[in-house]
């Protein structure tokens, strides 16, 4: 259980916590495909193959392990490879990535996300901790957060405790005074607990807790449920 009375600050995961990430990525890949067809027409047969962009992106994890924590760099390299395979100018990868990146910031929030941010912002400082490349300012939630950390600006990704500790430091509190909220049972919950934080598992899909070496955490099916429970805890 969570000792809510010890909480002095909140850290939030972003993707799949405040918005569903894969619909967002899908729309960004569609925007990229349209741009490529117009600006690099020889890529048209490739981008027309369902899932082809994502397949190349997944290949990059093995081809470029040095970029494993930098999702933007991996995506940029995936675009470069696609251009090369199509016989197009690989230098188009940079402007093509910018098209993808801008579309990637056009998220559709879960219905309860903004209300929860408003509710908790009125009580505590907030920080964003993400392994993704969403920009809190571009998606429109920058004013809610004291800071935002990701592998690009910090050099590490969750489950590394440095990310959680950086968040606590930015809010001027100790790790055990932070409550972390996220959807990933390992990267958000177990990792946060191992870093000395308390954690809430946002389990929208009612998944089974499968970490035998760790007790099941406090979990909620929605951010709205978490906010509604707060006064009674």
pLDDT of residue 231: 67
Please calculate the CA angle 50-55-58 and round it to the nearest 5 degrees.
Answer: 150
Q: What is the pLDDT of residue 62?
A: 86
pLDDT for the residue numbered 142: 98
Q: Length of the chain in residues, anyone? A: 233
pLDDT in tens, 180-229: 999 999 999 999 999 999 999 999 999 999 888 788 899 999 999 999 98
187 vs 10: CA distance, rounded Å: 16
Q: How far apart are CA 223 and CA 116, in angstroms?
A: 6
Check if CATH label 2.40.50.140 holds for domain 21-104: no
pLDDT the model gives residue 232 = 61
pTM metric for this prediction:
0.92
Adjacency order of strands within the sheet including 198-202? 147-149, 126-129, 9-12, 178-182, 198-202, 218-220
- State pLDDT tens for residues 41-55: 999 999 999 989 889
- CA–CA gap between residue 185 and residue 199 (Å, rounded): 10
pLDDT-flagged residues of the chain (< 50): none
- Choose which CATH entry (3.90.1150.10, 3.40.50.1700, 3.40.50.1000, 3.30.1050.10) describes domain 4-19+109-232: 3.40.50.1000
Domains in the chain: boundaries:
4-19+109-232, 21-104
Q: Do domains 4-19+109-232 and 21-104 have the same CATH topology?
A: no
- Following CA atoms 14, 19, 20, 26 in sequence, which dihedral angle do they give, to the nearest 10 degrees? -90
């Amino acid at each position: 259980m969570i000792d809510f009375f010890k909480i002095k600050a909140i850290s939030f995961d972003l993707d799949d916590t405040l918005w569903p990430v894969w619909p967002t990525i899908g729309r960004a890949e569609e925007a990229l495909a349209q741009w490529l067809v117009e600006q690099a027409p020889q890529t048209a047969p490739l981008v027309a193959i369902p899932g082809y962009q994502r397949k190349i992106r997944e290949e990059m994890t093995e081809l470029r392990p040095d970029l494993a924590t930098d999702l933007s760099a991996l995506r940029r390299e995936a675009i470069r490879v696609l251009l090369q395979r199509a016989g197009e100018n690989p230098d188009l990868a940079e402007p093509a990535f910018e098209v993808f990146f801008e579309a990637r910031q056009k998220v559709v929030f879960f219905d309860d996300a903004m209300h929860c941010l408003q509710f908790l912002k009125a009580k505590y400082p907030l920080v964003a901790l993400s392994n993704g490349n969403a920009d809190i300012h571009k998606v429109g939630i920058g004013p809610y957060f004291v800071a935002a950390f990701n592998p690009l600006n910090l050099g590490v990704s969750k489950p590394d405790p440095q990310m959680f500790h950086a968040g606590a430091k930015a809010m001027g509190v100790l790790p055990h005074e932070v409550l972390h909220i996220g959807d990933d049972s390992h990267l958000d919950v177990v990792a946060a607990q191992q870093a000395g934080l308390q954690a809430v598992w946002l389990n929208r899909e009612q998944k089974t807790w499968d970490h035998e070496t760790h007790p099941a955490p406090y979990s909620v099916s929605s951010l709205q449920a978490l906010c509604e429970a707060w006064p009674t805890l």
